[in-house]
Amino acid sequence: MTRRVTSFDVAARAGVSQSAVSRVFSGASASKATVEKVREAAEALGYRPNVLARSLITGRSRIIGMVVAYLGNPFYPDALERFSREFQDEGYHTLVFTLPEGAEDTDTDRIIQQMLDHQVDGIVLASVGLGDALAARCEAAGIPVVLFNRGQEGSGLAQVTSANRVGGAKVADFLVAGGHTRIGHVAGWQGSSTGRDRTEGFVARLVELGQDCVGVEDGRYDHAEAVRVTDVLLDKGVDALFVGNDHMAFAVMDHLRCTLDLSVPNDVSVVGYDDVPMAAFAAYDLTTVRQPVGRMVKATVEALINQIEDKSAHAEVTEIDGPLILRGSARRPEGME
């Protein structure tokens, strides 16, 4: 294994000083002639700048810390893949941090320390399940943070979500227009902003339309829990269910159809939230509100990089609207294609 080739080697061969080489590769000013000589020598020697040394001295690692929790919900892998691509295209890289199951404060602290240790330039918190404490600590550490698919009121943190309240309202409009009169809601986890917002927008619009929600039960973004509370709502005689995300909606549909032998949408209409790829599978054919992952990711990346490169850029709150995707799991209003 031969020694690494350094900027000194290149300098020697090109007949210039090491700093000249450094300047060429870090984009500082240099004369045409030197740039040429250095490029040539570097090419010949196979030189590449040492990222570690560079980071050490500039204090910028070009690494983004990405904290994820439940990749079981297919919305997140999709997002993660896009994040990785986008960051790569911007010259950054993605260091993944996974929070253990029952994340304690001590775990949170460890994760943060590790991110600080690696001197990440920015952090994406990509999961509704992440506690407020984590976000607060990241902020306190002076590293730019963007919350993805998660809000936190009054925190002053940058955040990107879909228009959850509006989305909830769209579902209310749709179900009422479809002639449903006993509408229930398997809510997303009420400890999360997405869960609360969707519920809030949904219930508020129902009331505006002169209906009362027959029941709201927290499904906690969990399969088993969603099934359990579905039974509770069925006891109240619902004819339509708005479920807080697609992942739970699948469980609810399975339960209705396979366990209880009910028909969806004839006996009960089901509407989800997210529009994960699986929602389009024929077995579910789920009517749902689309979260525009692509645009959400782009907005997040942009916001984060802005903060990193221009420290004065202040935190922005972005909400991206998504359409209701009409499929077969919910009865459609007359004449609506």
Partner DNA sequence: CGTGATTTTGCACACCTATGCAAAATCACG
Partner DNA sequence: CGTGATTTTGCATAGGTGTGCAAAATCACG
Q: Which residues bind a second copy (CB under 8 A)?
A: 1, 48-53, 55-56, 61, 63, 66, 68, 71-72, 74, 76-78, 80-81, 84-85, 88, 93-98, 100, 113-114, 116-119, 142, 250-251, 253-255, 257-259, 277-278, 281-285
Select the residue interacting with DNA from 43, 44, 50, 85 (CB under 7 A). Answer: 50
Contact 156, 315 (CB under 8 A): yes
Q: At what angle do helices 293-309 and 75-89 cross, to 10 degrees?
A: 40
β-pairing verdict for 324-325 and 287-290 = antiparallel
Q: Which stretch binds DNA (CB under 7 A): 51-59, 67-75, 224-232, 302-310?
A: 51-59
Q: Which does 311 bind (CB under 5 to 8 A by kind): a second copy, DNA, none?
A: none
Q: Which is nearer to a second copy, 222 or 285 (CB)?
A: 285
Cβ-Cβ contacts under 8 Å for 249 (sequence gap 6 or more) = 186, 243, 270, 271, 272, 273, 279, 284, 286, 288, 329
The token pair that represents 278 in the structure block: 């699986």
Preceding omega of 277 cis (within 30 degrees of 0): no
182 binds, among a second copy, DNA, none (CB under 5 to 8 A by kind): none
When the beta carbons of 35 and 325 are compared against DNA, the nearer one is 35
Task: Work out how close the CB of 51 gets to a second copy at its nearest, in angstroms, rounded to a whole number.
Answer: 5
Helix axes 246-254, 223-235, angle to 10 degrees: 60
Query: How far apart are the C-alpha atoms of 186 and 8, rounded to whole Å?
Result: 64
What one-letter code names the amino acid at 243?
Answer: V
Q: List the one residue from 1, 2, 29, 102 that touches DNA (CB under 7 A).
A: 29
Sorted by sequence, the CB contacts under 8 Å of residue 232 that are 6+ apart come out as 215, 217
Of 110 and 332, the one with the shorter C-beta distance to a second copy is 110
**20: contact with DNA by CB under 7 A:** yes
Task: Give the shortest CB-272-to-a second copy separation in angstroms.
Answer: 14
Residue nearer to a second copy on the CB measure, 60 or 236: 60
Round the CA-based radius of gyration of the chain to a whole number and report it: 25
**Closer Cβ to a second copy, 257 or 332, answer by number:** 257
**Residue 28 in contact with DNA, rule: CB under 7 A:** yes
Identify residue 87 by its one-letter amino acid code: F
Options 6-14, 100-108, 159-167, 304-312: segment touching DNA (CB under 7 A): 6-14
d(CA 332, CA 329): 9
